[in-house]
Amino acid sequence: MRLKALLFCLVFLTTLCGAVGESEIDLAPAPPEAPAPQEVPAPTESPAKTPTALSPLSAAPLEQSPPIPLNCAAAMLVEQDSGQVVLEMNPLAARPVASVTKVMTILLALEMLDAGGLSLGDQVSVSKASAGMGGSQMLLDVGERQSVSTLLEGMIVGSANDAAVALAEAMYGSEAACVDRMNARAAELGMTDTHFVNCTGLPADGQYTTARDVAVMSRQMFSHPAYFDFSDTWMDEIDHGDGRITQLVNTNKLIRLYDGCDGGKTGSTKEAGYCVAATASRGGMRLIAVVLGADSGAERFDIAGKMLDHGFANYRRYPVAQTGTKVRGTLPVTGGAKDGVALKLGSDLTLLVSRGDEQRIQLSPALPESLPAPVEAGQRVGSVAVSLDGRTLAEVPVVAAEAVDASGLGSGVKRFWENWLIT
């Protein structure tokens, strides 16, 4: 039996390396049509639908120390899809991040839009509290009515504090209730070193986060396609409906300065320094650069640009496995109606690897010598460890491609009826 299992593992590795492309694709149903513009309903609790979190960020960076100078308090470079951290500096240092805080406010709005609890065309009446916010503003007046779309654009493009509070009130009834949800969502995302006090990022005692947690919530925000409907706008005009026009200018200068940059969130206060969480996409790969506590606005963009340059120049996405890839041969089954069960890969896996390291990826299956019947289709039966230079990078589950019933009187009777009595 051991010899048979060993031969199976050898065949498995050969098949896995050569058959990654075999799979079937299920088409998702078309999304429902957007509802017609309407007044924002009375605030209720957040929609029951729980947004799906992305895979966690990798526990360790691909590079042990930053290969480029990082003249700031903390920094991190992350690949969007895999969550792999390329490099980091002081990733867990708790500190204020100014308006980068709005990433969570924006994320909650995007998730509520997806859940159907909010519509871009909904009209919001501006309260005295939101109109009175300091710092960056859209210059909203008390009683002014603006759409959710306009307020979201104000936050994403112009980092408007009045827009952030107006939208927070529309979503949850008050800024305080919105902050409660911000902290709850942070906990759901595993942001263990973050605490929000307001939804704007204006200086407040007890409000802090880290470069790693900024990367977590930014990555979640960047996973929403609707975000990019606003984020690459350089300039726009806001019509207040009373003859006044406010010009909106994107605070993220990398939109114009860096090739491929199409989003991000800036922030700056005396306490936080100059911060940015910027994203850029090239050649099918999206990277996120987080810079906290730089000495100037220009320097934060320079550092972010250099980190993005390093990532695009030295790394690529490498497809290791694809869900449904068939594994040649069968795994022995004891006490079953069949002697073996066919296997397939249970998930996709695409890794970020240094250019030229693709051939050094090692695949090591961990499979039992046999399985006891019954076996259910889709049942996890083992895994494949993916490693580079002896360091495990990920695991791919291996599942049964079919069901195998247990042998015995029941199975025998069933076969008798099928073979002899059914015409």
Q: Which residue ranges make up each domain of the chain?
A: 2-22+322-409, 74-315
- Clarify whether 82 is annotated catalytic: no
Task: Please list the residues that pair with 317 across neighbouring strands.
Answer: 352
Identified catalytic residue from 46, 58, 82, 102: 102
What pLDDT does residue 43 have?
46
d(CA 179, CA 195): 9
Claim: this prediction has a pTM higher than 0.75? yes
- The amino acid sitting at 32 is P
**Closest alpha carbon to 90 in 258, 265, 294:** 294
What pLDDT does residue 24 have?
31
The alpha-helical segments, DSSP class H, found in 315-418 are 409-416
Class of the CATH domain delimited by 2-22+322-409: mainly beta
**Closest alpha carbon to 100 in 259, 246, 251:** 251
More confident residue, 25 or 5: 5
What pLDDT does residue 260 have?
97
d(CA 198, CA 177): 10
What pLDDT does residue 153 have?
98
More confident residue, 187 or 20: 187
- pLDDT, tens only, 312-356: 999 999 888 889 998 878 899 999 999 999 999 999 888 888 988
d(CA 285, CA 305): 15
What's the pLDDT band for 16 if we cut at 50, 70, 90?
low
Backbone dihedral region for residue 356 (phi beyond 0: left; psi -120 to 50: alpha; all else: beta): left
What is the overall mean pLDDT for the chain?
87
d(CA 77, CA 312): 11
What's the pLDDT band for 47 if we cut at 50, 70, 90?
very low
d(CA 13, CA 409): 37
Identified catalytic residue from 46, 127, 136, 159: 159
Which segment of 63-67, 329-333, 411-415 scores lowest on mean pLDDT?
A: 411-415
The CATH number of 74-315, from 3.20.20.70, 3.40.50.170, 3.40.710.10, 3.60.15.10, is 3.40.710.10
- pLDDT, tens only, 72-131: 999 999 999 999 999 999 999 999 999 999 999 999 999 999 999 999 999 999 999 999
Burial of 88 (0-12, 13-18, 19+ CB in 10 A): buried
What pLDDT does residue 357 have?
87
- Clarify whether 99 is annotated catalytic: yes
Say if strands 285-294 and 349-354 run parallel, antiparallel, or are unpaired.
Answer: unpaired
For residue 185, pLDDT over 70 is answered with yes
More confident residue, 401 or 358: 401
Mean pLDDT of 274-290: 97
422 Cβ contact partners less than 8 Å away, ≥ 6 residues apart = none
Q: Which residue has the tokens 């947004």?
A: 51
Identified catalytic residue from 46, 99, 127, 218: 99
- Clarify whether 159 is annotated catalytic: yes
d(CA 331, CA 341): 5
